[in-house]
Amino acid sequence: MIVTEKLFEIEDQTEKLVQTILASESIESYKINRQTMYASKDVREKQKAFLDAKDSFERIEAYGNHAPDFRTKQRAVRQAKRALDMSEEVAEFRFSETEVQTILDLVGMAVAKTISADIKVDAGNPFFEKGKHSGCGGNCHAS
């Protein structure tokens, strides 16, 4: 790559974009929600309960239905995970995380679309519905 004045302009514009994104309400909300989630004693307790249940299940998982208490331990993992996911702090964090991911997906799509409509963008959000980015349309498979 040859370093030119245009490359420096692109770098400057990229830095401005990054600073604008970092100064946005979505990022501020994300940071606050992340800090709140990690500071929460309730979240830590639920996370420990989930990790303990997961560890207990993983020790017998390879044996499948033949292991004693397989279903009970499997259900305990799911219940602990649900309790963790449904806590208010985690739910708020996940919501703000998805909001930030959507912003980043939109920026990536806008840049790609500016260059060419044929560029595929892998959006990090599975529910992202803007544009056709979720596959190759059958054109990327070897025949």
Mean pLDDT of 97-115: 91
Which tens digit of pLDDT belongs to each residue from 127-138?
A: 655 554 444 544
Which tens digit of pLDDT belongs to each residue from 60-74?
A: 999 988 988 999 999
In the structure encoding, which two tokens stand for residue 100, read together? 């930030």
pLDDT at residue 143 greater than cutoff 80: no
Average model confidence (pLDDT) for the chain? 87
In the structure encoding, which two tokens stand for residue 117, read together? 């409509």
Where residue 141 falls among pLDDT bands split at 50, 70, 90?
very low
Where residue 139 falls among pLDDT bands split at 50, 70, 90?
very low
Contact 105, 128 (CB under 8 A): yes
pLDDT at 137: 47
- Residue 84: count of CB within 10 angstroms of its CB: 20
pTM value is: 0.73
pLDDT at residue 140 greater than cutoff 90: no
pLDDT at 142: 44
Domains of the chain: 24-115 (1.20.1500.10)
User: Sign of torsion, CA 64 70 73 76?
Assistant: positive
Sorted by sequence, the CB contacts under 8 Å of residue 54 that are 6+ apart come out as: 77, 80, 81
